[in-house]
Structure 1
Amino acid sequence: MKLEVGGVTEGHPVPEKFAFGVFNPDNHMSFGPNRNPELSWDGVPEGTKSFVVMMFDPDVPSVADDVNQEGKTIPADLPRVDFFHWLLVDVPATTRLIPEGEDSDGVSPKGKPVGPGPVGVRGINNYTQFLAGNPDMAGTYAGYDGPCPPWNDEIIHHYHFEVHALDVESLNLTGEFDGNAVREAMAGHVLASARVTGTYTLNPALR
């Protein structure tokens, strides 16, 4: 199976139009256009009954105490964890394209709704947890919300866009299901997968 992500070249920076946060020289970060990129795929195996779409960052600090704190940096050797930015399940087997901006077009304070979206069924992304302590932004974030790595991180972050072809029509996930729930539910049902990886940083020393 082959995946193409419009505007994202393997191993190169993700364009700012797809980012939740963009570099701002005055206060480190401003909200970005936060559009989902176009995804298109082919080479789908026989027997495919649905797709899962996900995007995640495996480079997120496991301890958030120093994230975006003046006078501090997040060391490169700090253990890292996955941060899910996009989860769609039960994407119909006939689908081969998700248009740019279809699942997200702009930052939505307090998040987008879970459940059926423009394409498939939305799971919650990790902005739900990350923004929980911010009274202006706290909410349930479903569907796509793009890159916004800590501006004081010593490493460039990687963003894995993935499409998985499954042998089931539905993963039977409802409510506020997360990336780990998706991975668990699709285990043993994946016929083929494809991935494109882009990079992103808000650290001026790394840009």
Structure 2
Amino acid sequence: MTEQQRAPLPHAFHPEVASFTVVSDDLAPGAVLDAAQVYAEGNTSPQLRWEGHPAGTKSFAVTCFDPDAPTGSGFWHWVVFDIPVSVTELPAGAGGGAFPGLPEGAVHVRNDYGSKEFGGAAPPAGDGPHRYVFTVYAVDTENLGPDADASPAVVGFHLRFHALGRAQLIGEYEVSADG
């Protein structure tokens, strides 16, 4: 997949908002995802830590999206929201299993695998590198509105109107044509 064939990043058509910083002990910007973040291997959400969110933030949401998935609409790997403003870090693995470190009240919706948890990278063999966009949203309300049965698109709709800021960390992963 050439750079010209790549889909735009997930916020290309959203209003501009303040930016802040997200970092990870498990993923450097632009680096290849670790086996722990691959669906068939570890399927573990990375540790994420953020700072510098805008004044007025009342909660956070975290998503992981692959805009390069060959679906015509990308692929949602993780969507969690209503994270209290006092929480500025999620440990590795917070997106699955017993959800260790995920704060009470946080809401997971189903990913495009159909489960309410983090689903790791699994691009088709030979499709080239896919980008995995981890986004932390600073939200202007404590409760975004949707419930756990909402689709990622509905959550994204609400985030478009309630995001005060966004922080992004992008990793890549690919599977060679010979698997």
**Greater radius of gyration (CA):** 1
* TM-score (normalizing by structure 1): 0.70
For residue 55 of structure 2, the aligned residue among 25, 35, 46 is 46
Unaligned runs of 5+ in 2: 1-19
Measure how far apart 1:96 and its partner are. Answer: 0.5
Instruction: Name the count of aligned residue pairs.
Output: 157
* Residue equivalent to 1:16: 35
Measure how far apart 1:180 and its partner are. Answer: 0.8
Q: Is 1:36 the counterpart of 2:45 in the alignment? A: yes
Q: Which amino acid aligns with 1:143?
A: E
Within a 5 Å distance, the mapping from 1:166-205 to structure 2 comes to 166-204=139-177
Q: Is 1:150 the counterpart of 2:169 in the alignment? A: no
| Rounded Cα–Cα distance in structure 2 between residues aligned with 1:188 and 1:103 | 24
| Rounded Cα–Cα distance in structure 2 between residues aligned with 1:94 and 1:181 | 25
Q: Which amino acid aligns with 1:174?
A: D
* Residue equivalent to 2:11: none
For residue 5 of structure 1, the aligned residue among 24, 35, 42 is 24
Q: Which amino acid aligns with 1:118?
A: L
| Rounded Cα–Cα distance in structure 1 between residues aligned with 2:25 and 2:121 | 16
Asked if the contact 2:28–2:171 (Cα under 8 Å) also holds between the matched residues in 1, the reply is: yes
| Rounded Cα–Cα distance in structure 2 between residues aligned with 1:202 and 1:104 | 23
Q: Is 1:84 the counterpart of 2:76 in the alignment? A: yes
* TM-score (normalizing by structure 2): 0.81
| Rounded Cα–Cα distance in structure 2 between residues aligned with 1:90 and 1:48 | 11
| Rounded Cα–Cα distance in structure 2 between residues aligned with 1:195 and 1:151 | 26
SS in structure 1 of the partner of residue 158 of structure 2: helix
CA RMSD of aligned residues (A): 2.0
* Residue equivalent to 2:102: 118
Give structure 1 regions of 4+ aligned residues with deviation exceeding 4 angstroms: none
SS in structure 1 of the partner of residue 68 of structure 2: strand
